[in-house]
């Protein structure tokens, strides 16, 4: 199975994920939950193990013993989702996304949504009214709203700008003073979570604008072959192994995964959609384009938005920011 997305919809033109059932108009939160297959409930049940003991009169018998741990289970399939602890509290999909009803007041429109990884995460992507410019590139602003049923995250939303020319999702690894991910407490009341979300929405627009300003510095930063090499290796250190070769006469065989990845990224630096092979902005987008459109993901959404690709894209932004903020270019990048 190429992808593990169970169900998904999108509005209008095919969005960045390239998959799903099209809709003509943006749905409401309630409609989105149903259309995306999120209209199931989750229960938390205790887990047991069997122990065999000898009976006084001879023979043996089995006894179930509580482990002290629990598993979350989907109501529609009866299948387990994930192992959780005693203190874990189930938050149903309808309750998790209840606070997000207020986004319509800010001009946000639901764009796509789905269930991934057998229900471990459910998510909704919303398009905001804002768009930005980096050089000649148009950046459309989105937020990715999600919650989990395996204990890996609470109810959150994350800034997810998208470069229109190539549909790359740009990961904003912002500083401690500038959030790009906002968490809503599971234990808080609906009213409190709505208040927390409203406050976060007020702050996020300024944070995204500041991040875009920094990306414009990427566009103004000239990058040659040597700096491109250092930058890519700093973002993805395992690519330094690309020079390893097999030595058959010595019985040494190496599966060199790093070389084709490095060559793809360097080619995208010059020839990727919207790239000219001249600046840090081109290099940053070469990495994001590789992860979003060239790397083979078992599950595209999980891989690009929550997995190793999301980490690499965050590193690409963070390291690029360090480069443009360092006036001594000879000592810009330090990595292991």
Q: Per-residue confidence at 331, pLDDT binned at 50, 70, 90?
A: very low
Q: Has residue 243 got a pLDDT over 80?
A: yes
Could you tell me which residues are beta bridge partners of residue 8?
114
pLDDT in tens, 72-113: 999 999 999 999 888 888 888 988 888 888 888 889 999 888
Contact 308, 238 (CB under 8 A): no
Cβ count near 312 (within 10 Å):
18
Look at 2-6, 47-51, 298-302 and tell me which has the smallest mean pLDDT.
2-6
Look at 158-172, 256-270, 283-297 and tell me which has the smallest mean pLDDT.
158-172
Q: In the structure encoding, which two tokens stand for residue 167, read together?
A: 């549909």
Pairwise CA distance, residues 229 & 219, whole Å = 18
Q: In the structure encoding, which two tokens stand for residue 213, read together?
A: 């300003």
3-class state of residue 182 by DSSP = strand
- Give residue 78's pLDDT: 92
Q: Which of 165, 250, 172, 214 is nearest to 325 (CA)?
A: 214
Q: In the structure encoding, which two tokens stand for residue 122, read together?
A: 């459910």
- Give residue 229's pLDDT: 96
Q: Which of 150, 160, 28 is nearest to 94 (CA)?
A: 28
Q: Has residue 264 got a pLDDT over 90?
A: yes
Pairwise CA distance, residues 205 & 207, whole Å = 5
């Amino acid at each position: 199975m190429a992808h593990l997305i169970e169900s998904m919809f999108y509005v209008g033109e095919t969005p960045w994920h390239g998959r799903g059932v099209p809709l003509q108009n943006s749905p409401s939160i309630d409609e989105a939950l149903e259309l995306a297959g999120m209209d199931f409930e989750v229960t938390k049940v205790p887990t047991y193990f069997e122990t065999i003991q000898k009976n006084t009169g001879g023979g043996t018998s089995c006894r179930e013993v509580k482990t002290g741990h629990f598993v979350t289970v989907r109501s529609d399939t009866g299948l387990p989702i994930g192992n959780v602890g005693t203190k874990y509290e189930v938050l149903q999909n309808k309750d998790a996304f209840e606070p997000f009803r207020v986004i319509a007041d800010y001009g946000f429109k639901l764009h796509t949504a789905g269930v991934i990884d057998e229900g471990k995460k459910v998510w909704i992507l919303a398009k905001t009214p804002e768009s930005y410019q980096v050089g000649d590139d148009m950046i459309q602003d989105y937020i990715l709203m999600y919650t989990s049923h395996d204990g890996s995250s609470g109810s959150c939303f994350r800034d997810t700008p998208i470069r229109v020319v190539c549909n790359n999702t740009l990961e904003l690894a912002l500083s401690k003073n500038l959030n790009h991910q906002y968490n809503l407490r599971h234990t808080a009341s609906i009213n409190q979570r709505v208040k927390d979300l409203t406050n976060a929405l007020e702050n996020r627009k300024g944070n995204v604008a500041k991040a875009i300003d920094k990306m414009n510095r990427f566009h103004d930063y000239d990058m040659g072959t040597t700096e491109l090499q250092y930058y890519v290796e700093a973002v993805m250190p395992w690519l330094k192994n690309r020079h390893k070769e097999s030595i058959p006469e010595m019985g040494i065989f190496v599966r060199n995964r790093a070389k084709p990845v490095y060559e793809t990224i360097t080619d995208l630096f010059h020839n990727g959609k919207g790239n000219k092979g001249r600046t840090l902005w081109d290099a940053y987008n070469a990495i994001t384009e590789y992860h979003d459109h060239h790397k083979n993901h078992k599950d595209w959404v999980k891989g690009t938005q929550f997995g190793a690709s999301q980490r690499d894209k965050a590193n690409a932004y963070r390291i690029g920011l360090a480069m443009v903020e360092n006036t001594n270019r000879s000592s810009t990048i330090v990595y292991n």
